[in-house]
């Protein structure tokens, strides 16, 4: 039976055939190798309209320009599975100016009306529709929701910052601006600074577990920097979880809280951290270990030293940065 499964994976190609081993049940419960995480390869092979490339981001921006929107997508940051032959990256749109600069939220920014700028909150909303249920794994919508809330609370609990990281209502809307652009469900509603847009909207490149898109404000002159801090002003960010993998909340397979914590790091303006190198067996190692490593190794729901340092350097002075 295992051989049959392996042969089927090989037909779909690319990833699976690079690993010749047949795994024992014990190994299948380990957090790696990558085959143990895989859900249904059909999900990956049937929708390849969207890829995480600068060209794809540029196309999205052309659509936003045609629609007269006052924001553009600046970048997409993604995390990959250990052993996938792919290390997480930051993909930057080519057709947006100031692309070498960082980006962050501006305090008291009236343009982010969904966050009631008077209270200087950074807000998030979680998709509660069918998108909230990973297609493979045992996690329910309520459990993935709780895992994302725990991850949010973990960042919010850091006492170096007065960041008021709070949840906005989702009104039962199928969140997903990027998804809506590409016709994979979602909607054009922006309900919070950070959207968790679910598991079913988009299909990404092999190895990708999750991605955060950053949208920045523009005016007639291009990207804005109204607080003059040398960074692009973030409009909102949007997080997706790849439906290809087996997701769980019990520490097995791909751990929802761990990936949510990582993506929320991007949501709160952190970049990847740590040197990821490849080992002889084709898997990766990272040093130092951090939630913000670009590769998923195992559940990690406590922020590490560099995660905390990065967060505090960005948010320590909020709302006075
Ligand atoms: Zn990442």
**SS3 for 316?**
coil
Q: What is the pTM of this model?
A: 0.86
> What's the pLDDT score for residue 13?
36
The alpha carbon of 208 and the centre of ligand 1 are apart by a number of angstroms equal to 10
The alpha carbon of 226 and the centre of ligand 1 are apart by a number of angstroms equal to 27
> What's the pLDDT score for residue 150?
98
The alpha carbon of 211 and the centre of ligand 1 are apart by a number of angstroms equal to 7
CB burial of 197-228 (b: ≥16 within 10 Å; e: otherwise) equals bbbbbbbbbbbbbbbbbbbbbbeeeebbbebe
**SS3 for 5?**
helix
The alpha carbon of 271 and the centre of ligand 1 are apart by a number of angstroms equal to 7
The alpha carbon of 220 and the centre of ligand 1 are apart by a number of angstroms equal to 31
> What's the pLDDT score for residue 252?
87
Task: Please give the Cα distance from 148 to 254 (Å, whole number).
Answer: 14
Chunked mean pLDDT (size 10), the chain, 321 residues: 39 36 35 59 49 88 95 94 84 79 91 86 94 87 96 96 93 93 89 94 79 96 93 96 90 94 97 90 88 95 97 93 57
> What's the pLDDT score for residue 236?
98
CA 310 to each of CA 20, 178, 221, 303: distance values in angstroms, whole numbers, following the listed order: 40, 27, 31, 11
Helices 141-156 and 256-267 pack at an angle, to 10 degrees, of 50
The alpha carbon of 11 and the centre of ligand 1 are apart by a number of angstroms equal to 30
48-315 has which CATH code?
Answer: 3.40.390.10
> What's the pLDDT score for residue 99?
60
The alpha carbon of 189 and the centre of ligand 1 are apart by a number of angstroms equal to 24
> What's the pLDDT score for residue 34?
60
């Amino acid at each position: 039976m295992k051989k049959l499964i392996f042969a089927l994976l090989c037909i779909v190609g690319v990833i699976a055939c690079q690993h010749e081993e047949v795994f024992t049940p014990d190994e299948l419960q380990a957090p790696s190798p990558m085959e143990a995480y895989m859900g249904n390869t059909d999900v990956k092979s049937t929708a390849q309209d969207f890829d995480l490339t600068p060209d794809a981001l540029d196309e999205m921006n052309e659509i936003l320009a045609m629609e007269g929107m006052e924001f553009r997508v600046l970048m997409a940051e993604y995390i990959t599975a250990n052993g996938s032959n792919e290390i997480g990256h930051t993909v930057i749109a080519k057709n947006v100016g100031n692309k070498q600069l960082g980006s962050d939220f501006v305090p008291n920014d009236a343009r982010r009306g969904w966050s009631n700028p008077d209270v200087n909150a950074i807000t998030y909303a979680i998709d509660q529709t069918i998108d909230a249920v990973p297609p493979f794994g045992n996690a329910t919508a309520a459990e993935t929701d709780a895992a994302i809330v725990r991850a949010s609370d973990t960042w919010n609990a850091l006492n170096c910052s007065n960041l008021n990281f709070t949840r906005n209502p989702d009104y039962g809307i199928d969140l997903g601006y990027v998804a809506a652009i590409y016709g994979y469900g979602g909607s054009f509603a922006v309900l919070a600074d950070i959207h968790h847009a679910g598991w079913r909207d988009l299909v990404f490149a092999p190895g990708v577990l999750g991605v955060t898109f950053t949208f920045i404000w523009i005016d007639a002159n291009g990207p804005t920097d109204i607080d003059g801090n040398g960074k692009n002003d973030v409009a909102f960010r949007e997080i997706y979880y790849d439906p290809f993998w087996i997701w769980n909340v019990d520490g097995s397979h791909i751990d929802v809280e761990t990936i949510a914590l990582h993506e929320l790091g991007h949501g709160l303006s952190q970049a990847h951290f740590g040197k990821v190198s490849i080992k002889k067996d084709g898997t990766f190692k990272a040093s130092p270990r951090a939630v913000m490593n670009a590769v998923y190794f195992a559940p990690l729901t406590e922020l590490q030293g560099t995660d905390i340092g990065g967060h505090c350097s960005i948010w320590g002075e909020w709302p006075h940065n």
